[in-house]
Structure 1
Amino acid sequence: MPGRQDGPSKADWVAAGLSALAIGGIEAVKVERLAASLGVSKGPFYWRFRDRVELFEAIIDFWKRDFTTGLIEQARHLDDPRARLMALAELAIEPNAGSLDVAKTECALRAWAGQDPLPRAAVREVDELRLRHVTEELKLLGAPEPVAEQLSRGIYLALLGLYTVRQYTPELADDQSYRTAVTIAIDAAEKAYLPAAARNTHPTSDR
């Protein structure tokens, strides 16, 4: 007889749940459907989770870790903020994370957050974490905090827009345009640190 250590792991159920969420929204994340996709009955699900809500919490934790803190950690070894920000931008625009479509997963999670306070709190937490991290990197480049915050929001809103158009108007989903926007924001952060005289590259005439 199969034991509780047999069958899909907790990670398998989470991956199946995220795939279902990305394709069909939260209504597609049903135990029977996930079990069928994994080739098992419903029983093994309850070896790993108390109920569907615990699966939801695990899905959110996976998204927070693999789509945010994990990416930040991958870029942390680089020596300077510009390199870290550009590396992070490249990681963020990767189309897939394993078997998951990044844009579909992000958008599906945010659509779910529009209906349910559980993911809504997580989305707010992740947004704050991402923005704070980028802001701090821009401050290290010399931007005053208010400027760094504005540039950080610009970078982040451009990324969310890229995720959205990848689904609905893919002809607008230009990764190079996003890279250019990030580069412009980084340049602006560095320029904000310079004295006004150094920023002024145009000769002035005598009055």
Structure 2
Amino acid sequence: MHDTLQQTRQGFRSETWRRFKKSRLGLSAAILLLLLSIAAILAPVLAPLGPTEQFFDGLTLEGAPLPPDGKFWLGTDTLGRDLYARVLYGARTSLIIGVVANLAAVVIGTTLGMLAGFFGGWIGLAIMRFTDLMMAFPALLLAIALAAIIGPSLWIVALVIALVNWVQIARVVYTQTRALVEREYIEAARALGAGWGRIVASHIFPHLVPTILVWGT
């Protein structure tokens, strides 16, 4: 039975990779995202001018922004700052917030959704009622409260986004886990003495990966 499940998972991965390689739109988007990520990570190398530096030669004599030239590749803003550097560093900030917030939301939502779906009963009910409560909680109020307690920072933004968005994937994972728990191979694994952790990790989570990837991206 284990060999059959292993072959099924390997076949699913191969089929997924084959379809992805045939999708020109998917490949183009992946390459573009990779290039943007590399540019954001290497911002200090690719942009020798600082994003917050104000240059005296970054404005005209009348105080107007400069157009693109040899020093300022994308020109300057009204304060004489290099727009090229600001774009790269801005992409870096967006990448950090997006990756951290998405990963946190996926981890929290997937974990709670699987636990609620697998155990059901009062455990599942408590988790899902907490999910409903978080879904109704105002994001702006949460951001203000966290900023007052911890202090304003980039990580507060990522944390608020994660705490607001994990509830969506939790409900999806919960629904799919409840359906998977009723499958015959789950009952067979229980009959063979497999613990809940092994069942969730080996037999339920692999079936949720496509959904998690779609939601996370």
- Normalised by the shorter chain, which TM-score bucket? under 0.3
| Superposition TM-score, scaled by structure 2 size | 0.24
| Superposition TM-score, scaled by structure 1 size | 0.25
If you compute each CA radius of gyration, which structure gives the higher value, 1 or 2?
A: 2
